[in-house]
Structure 1
């Protein structure tokens, strides 16, 4: 790890963690081990929470305003304490991952990386794998599961289809960005300007990431999460992405939506528009009281971990 960035010496995530309940803070018994997975020229950072006795494993995916360490901060301690094994992956452009030099990635690269990582994890270990995703990470888990076909469950904080104009209006920073800025990314990418980038907070409603002004300022300081930049190629692909299996065709695994009740970025109706067409697998929704988009608040945080533990235990029983 010495030649790659690590979270060990970074202060930004620690400041963000200070706004979470103390019971979620890392302890000597429950803390991640940092690793690097080399794939397709990328050095992909992993926060791994090993537990050889776990019967189910969870792979955690961040969105476009967070990173893998922020996933560990939410779920690492409660789920590891409950007996599960977890790993959080940083996608190119976020966290401590080092992308292939000179490569301009898009959302489809994220999907393919996620699916390839599932295959990688299954190579020498047949324990069932479930995917978790926050914000855009929720849709990422859906796309990855549909492509891969071996995932046993997906958990999302949001499932959004940016091809729906109302959803794009909600997700983008303002109407100008949703109606002109984001669609223009397709033209720029076609013209060979896919490498051009802008801060994600300029494209999306990053001001609604958390419902705490001081915590929001801490997030804005982090160049590896809320202050990350995205390219025109990525945006063009994200807003038009067609999954391997559309919601009406999805038959891979059960779905759990853990929806923050006070989410000002992607409220419940956004996920409802996506999930209403999913009829071939079970879909369960759990509301997280008092919680924002990246939840800092109880009882929502407790409700989230309880719902996920129950979901994972159900998969344990059906996978025997």
Structure 2
């Protein structure tokens, strides 16, 4: 399976990639995958794109957890910290690489936007439901947290039994942009400029995420940051101006005041230097029609590599999934 030219020499499968193997050296030994314990790699065709999936299959599992990365990570990095640990707790997990990230092969000649990210996940959940009727919970790390909300707001009612975010960042909020952008100048001037360029042929131009966001705060371990910033499929990725503009200005199908789709859980790293707890409050404080809970992950950074936060992340999500899918399981 060859990659598109834009992806260069990126391997087609994670079993052939070194980047995640280098990163997992900074994880507790119990979380380090081997060729024997790594997820099964699959591809799902969506509108001419080949979407890479990391699946830990378990036909007997009572529920599925779908994992989504942020703008500085990829699906295999989700499998490392959460996919495999939740599989050990008895759930089926699948981590996807959205358009432009990880090992997903984007259809040549297209310039995906953030809207496509949302639509892809909505359709993927429908695809999973066509395979079997087990309940699904959606997890998102970093920018993937708000994506879980955007997906839940747009998907048909009953698609999800719950959403979990490592953070819920509404980039329409100036306070959020100011704190999560690379710098204040980028937040105040870069976003409007992206909006203007997105309406021209320049929309397809690529821009490094490390200059758009505070990528230097992705992980708290300097060695892990060095490994991440060498990986063009995650932290060192470049995205289109069109994607950035839509990411910054996406309007959800339902605003938080009216959201009544499913319970919400925030799993907030306590030592997050990129998106601290207060930045999720403008969204979560407005959700009052469904339960909203928060679990703080001790000693953990934005991409959590630290204990006890990693165990707390696994346990909190396992409990959340069990609680919110138990009724379906009893039936």
Q: Quick check: 2:67–2:83 contact (8 Å CA) kept in 1?
A: no
Q: Distance in 1 between matches of 2:270 and 2:127?
A: 35
Partner of 1:129: 136
Structure 2 gaps of 5+ residues are 4-11
Partner of 2:75: 68
1:33 paired to 2:33: no
SS of alignment partner, residue 194 of structure 1: helix
Partner of 1:214: 223
Number of residues paired by the alignment?
Answer: 319
C-alpha displacement at 1:171, in angstroms? 1.1
Partner of 1:157: 166
Of 70, 86, 91, 2:98 maps to 91
C-alpha displacement at 1:274, in angstroms? 1.1
Partner of 2:209: 200
Q: Distance in 2 between matches of 1:101 and 1:109?
A: 15
Q: Distance in 2 between matches of 1:257 and 1:318?
A: 22
Q: Distance in 1 between matches of 2:19 and 2:82?
A: 18
Q: Quick check: 1:130–1:154 contact (8 Å CA) kept in 2?
A: yes
Partner of 2:8: none
Structure 1 gaps of 5+ residues are none
1:24-51 Cα offsets, whole Å, 9 max, x none, are: 1225774300000001010000001100
1:229-250 Cα offsets, whole Å, 9 max, x none, are: 0111011101111011111111
Partner of 1:143: 150
Q: In the TM superposition, what are the counterparts of 1:1-320 in structure 2 within 5 Å?
A: 2-3=1-2, 5-27=12-34, 30-148=37-155, 149=157, 150-319=159-328, 320=330
SS of alignment partner, residue 207 of structure 2: strand
Query: TM-score, normalization: structure 2?
Result: 0.94
Q: Distance in 1 between matches of 2:39 and 2:192?
A: 39
Q: Distance in 2 between matches of 1:70 and 1:57?
A: 18
C-alpha displacement at 1:260, in angstroms? 0.2
Q: Distance in 1 between matches of 2:312 and 2:162?
A: 19
Q: Quick check: 1:260–1:287 contact (8 Å CA) kept in 2?
A: yes
Q: CA RMSD in A?
A: 1.1
SS of alignment partner, residue 8 of structure 1: helix
Q: Distance in 1 between matches of 2:91 and 2:192?
A: 41
C-alpha displacement at 1:114, in angstroms? 0.3
1:75-128 Cα offsets, whole Å, 9 max, x none, are: 122211110000000011100000111100110000000000000000130000
Query: TM-score, normalization: structure 1?
Result: 0.98
Q: Distance in 1 between matches of 2:33 and 2:236?
A: 24
SS of alignment partner, residue 223 of structure 1: coil
Partner of 2:9: none
Q: Distance in 2 between matches of 1:185 and 1:107?
A: 14
C-alpha displacement at 1:16, in angstroms? 0.6
